Amino acid sequence: MKKIFFIVLLLIFSGFVMNKPAYFLYDKSGKEAKYPKMISTLVKADVVFVGEFHDNPISHWLELQISKDLYASKKQDLVLGAEMFERDNQLMINEYLQGLIKENNFEKEAKLWDNYKTDYKPLLNFAKDQNLAFLATNVPRRYASAVATAGLKALDNITAEAKTYVAPMPLEVDLLQSSYQVMAKMMPTHGSGNTENIIFAQ
């Protein structure tokens, strides 16, 4: 059985003062955790998910530190990935990591978030420096938008090549799962639209 760990980073800013960290770590029971203990646990996992606030630089810095410390144990068995990158950018990511295209070409042509250079580029370049695989883990936005509008049937007629950019079909979504129930309650803050379709898009 695969061991999968989820990390949700609870970040409490305390300023840049000596001996006062910019973050605290807590385990699933709410008890404060130590970084070395967390790493010793994560090293045993097959898959590690890091939950983040996309616009929080401290969480991205911590992701990089975690990656470096996992690499110290895993070496080339470590594979990185990020939701920031959409699946149809994988070829460009591979070409950049292999040195086949220049950095400025990659940054001009790839679909990058506004905070790429400060928050995600260091992680991608770490993979490049260590010759690690780096996966674009997000569905292309155009397909997520289509599903949010028309439901999963929107994927019925996309091409075979397009289907390589989404999860294997047919997709099964259990709307009774607690995470989706929570998401449904959050929907009013995400604009109008069919709640189920928006969840399917996610």
Summarize pLDDT for 133-186 with one digit per residue, the tens.
Answer: 999 999 999 999 999 999 999 999 999 999 999 999 888 889 899 988 888 888
154-181 burial: b if 16+ Cβ within 10 Å, else e: bbeeeeeeeeebbeeeeeeeeeeeeebe
CA–CA distance, 107 with 53 (Å, rounded to integer): 22
Among the residue ranges 82-91, 123-132, 169-178, the one predicted with the least confidence is 169-178
Radius of gyration in angstroms for the set of CA atoms belonging to the chain, rounded to a whole number:
19
Confidence of residue 19 (pLDDT cuts 50, 70, 90): low
Alpha-helical regions (H) of 48-139: 57-74, 90-97, 103-109, 121-130
Residues constituting the chain? 202
The confidence score (pLDDT) of residue 16 equals 44
More confident residue, 109 or 13: 109
